Structure 1
Amino acid sequence: MKNQVAIGCSSFYNRFWKNIFYPRNLPSKAWFEFYCQHFNTYEFNGSFYKFPTVRVFNNWYDKTPDSFLFSVKVPKEITHIKKLKDCESLLNDFYEVCKNGMKEKLGAVLFQFPPSYDFSKQKLESIIGLLNYDFKNVIEFRHITWWNEEVWSAFKDNNITFCSVSYPHLPSTIFKDFPLLYIRFHGVPKLFYSSYSSEELQNLNHALESKHGFVYFNNTASEAGILNALELKRMHALNYLTAKSAK
């Protein structure tokens, strides 16, 4: 994935996308296959709500083209309920399921912590101590106290990616100097609903130049997410072709 950014969505099963993205007569059971014809990555959020099995991930693996990549969210039992406490065995099990289920199609492993999870040195040390560094680990915070140099420095030293977010009342910084560029667009000002303008997407597109990683649109409670993803994908493809022809 060197110098390549994969663009996709955090959901695909969406009735608002019919006639906008999915053809009118396409049955819903064929929606994911259609999605895979237009995007080369998907952020799998189902594992956040229910601990996955190898069989479940194998099924998703088998549905996708050879070059497809999944980013997979860590179960909320680990990040929201236990908040990493006494989670070493559980997290190791999750890593193993990801490794054996997604195999070479595993992109990143996403840890999303709740808004109540504020910064402390102890929590930072816990994160660093628990992660398996054989995987591409991405951490998404929802509390502004994590936006600090101590965290960023520790993450860089340990090959951890700090997730860039577009989320109400959080900094919109695009972090480009971590192992991956990993961006999640949740919708601002209306969470999960708001669309991003062409100007905003063009500014983002410039930030993607010569980077590798993932951009996911999670503003999928309406048609906004798929339209934004398609527009950014077109912009990024045009940039790539322009740069290639200039060589």
Structure 2
Amino acid sequence: MSPRSAPAASPADSTPNTLRIAWSTRLAARTAPARRAALRTAPPPALAPADRLRSRRSTPGRRKAASRAPPDARRIARATEPPRTRSSARAAWADTRRRPASPKSTRSRSRVNAFARRHAKFADLGSGTTAATPLRLGTCAFTAVGWVGSFYPKDLRSGEFLRFYAQEFHSVELDVTWYRTPSPEMIRGWNEKTPPGFVFAAKVPQTITHDKVLTDCRPELREFLDAMAGLGDKLGPLLFQFPRFDTDVFATLDEFLAVLDPFLRELPRGFRFALEVRNREWLQPRLLDRLRARNVAFAWNDLHRMPRPEQVLRRLDPVTADFVYLRWLGDRYGIERLTQRWDRTVVDRSREIAGWAEICRDLRDRELAIYGYVNNHYAGHAPATVRSLLDRIDPSQRRPQSRVNRQATLFEL
């Protein structure tokens, strides 16, 4: 039996069979005096090694929900694990025709594709062409301090930012929706300023994820979904971005699941949802199983206090839906010690980007649509990072860069 037709290992299987992540070798550490000297030099500054970037907060503060007690014991007891049947998935996988693959590529895809081997619904993925698989990469929001002159032309009116942005990238993750549900006028403007095929991902309002924490929030969710539906075919995934919860809100993952389970069951059809958690100890199979049962994407983030991608792949199948949602967030407090103007790359993320590009290529081999968004806090200038990712994943999807002030590209990764 070939390696690709063998039954998949259980989640508890500890066999080391991970992706060959390109950033496994650490960058050489610079001394503290050298770092201080680098900060004193005139711009443009040298790139800071990513593995030397540390947040000023050794233990990040945890978000506390407003006026809300933890679930009671009865609700926790009712949270049950979904049934896990493997035989049909294995049989479907064994009977599926596959293209020949070299031992290296088989080994590289084994973890990313483990989900398809264990779930018959997606066992037939991977037989199509990568070029036809959607790859939607963009930035978190389309405005930032320092982007005028480095990304947007200096003489461009702010009302035309989105129109210009949509000529550069295929998608954007809206941040404004986290603060409030957009008005019909905002929806109309977004539609008018973007071409067909452009995709808006959007954060679900904080009222739902931070204030009410999925409890008694049906009216708010209905209002938000009704508004976002106005984008029509341009509407992409909607992100439930949760904070890092303190133990006085959810003492354990099970308490969170007791609230999450009924909420997921009531999500309406016709929308794509993704869910991000920032409690690293919550990245466990039973959380991903809940998302998988409802075709909700696990929002896989590159955030300084979360496990590295290779650590996730050793323990989990990160694919929980028929699409993938990625976020490159970085270390906000660490990078703000270097800059607070987002007009240039200041952190060297070349190793991380090379590793993520390999992961994305493997995911596209499974014909999984990819939605991915970069924050300025990742490397300093999100547009440059998006271009670097596109160059490494699929250069054919990178659009010609407009003729603007190219200061930021001096340090593109």
TM superposition score category, shorter chain reference: 0.7 to 0.9
CA shift for structure 1 position 220: 5.2
Q: Distance in 2 between the 1:162 and 1:133 partners?
A: 17
Over the residues paired in the alignment, what is the CA RMSD in angstroms?
2.5
2:174/2:200 contact within 8 Å kept = yes
Structure 1 157/205 Cα, relative in aligned 2: closer, same or farther at 3 Å?
A: same
Q: Percent identity?
A: 25
Q: Distance in 1 between the 2:182 and 2:154 partners?
A: 32
Q: Distance in 1 between the 2:396 and 2:319 partners?
A: 18
| 2:231 equivalent to 1:102 | yes
Residue 180 of structure 1 corresponds to which residue in structure 2? 323
Q: Distance in 2 between the 1:206 and 1:61 partners?
A: 33
Residue 242 of structure 2 corresponds to which residue in structure 1? 113
CA shift for structure 1 position 223: 4.1
Q: 1:54 aligns with which of 181, 184, 208?
A: 184
Q: Distance in 1 between the 2:375 and 2:298 partners?
A: 17
| 2:373 equivalent to 1:216 | yes
Structure 2, unmatched stretches of 5+, are: 1-130, 313-317, 337-345, 399-413
Residues 150-189 of structure 1 aligned to structure 2 (within 5 Å): 150-173=286-309, 175-188=318-331
Residue 84 of structure 2 corresponds to which residue in structure 1? none
Structure 1 192/152 Cα, relative in aligned 2: closer, same or farther at 3 Å?
A: farther
Q: Distance in 2 between the 1:109 and 1:25 partners?
A: 33
Residues 1-247 of structure 1 aligned to structure 2 (within 5 Å): 3-99=133-229, 101-116=230-245, 118=250, 119=253, 120=255, 121-173=257-309, 175-188=318-331, 190=333, 195=347, 197-209=349-361, 210=364, 211-219=368-376, 223-238=380-395
CA shift for structure 1 position 3: 1.7
1:6/1:214 contact within 8 Å kept = yes
Structure 1, unmatched stretches of 5+, are: 242-247
Q: Distance in 1 between the 2:193 and 2:305 partners?
A: 37
Spell out, residue by residue over 1:93-132, the C-alpha distance to the aligned partner (whole angstroms, 9 max, x if none): 2111111x21110010111112116422312313322322
Q: Distance in 1 between the 2:180 and 2:376 partners?
A: 21
TM-score, length basis structure 2:
0.53
Indicate the structure (1 or 2) with the bigger Cα radius of gyration.
2
CA shift for structure 1 position 240: 7.0
Spell out, residue by residue over 1:162-185, the C-alpha distance to the aligned partner (whole angstroms, 9 max, x if none): 100111211233734532211111
**Higher RCO (CA-CA < 8 Å; seq separation 6+):** 2
Secondary structure of the equivalent of 1:214?
strand
2:173/2:202 contact within 8 Å kept = yes
Secondary structure of the equivalent of 2:357?
helix
Structure 1 192/162 Cα, relative in aligned 2: closer, same or farther at 3 Å?
A: farther
TM-score, length basis structure 1:
0.86
CA shift for structure 1 position 187: 1.4
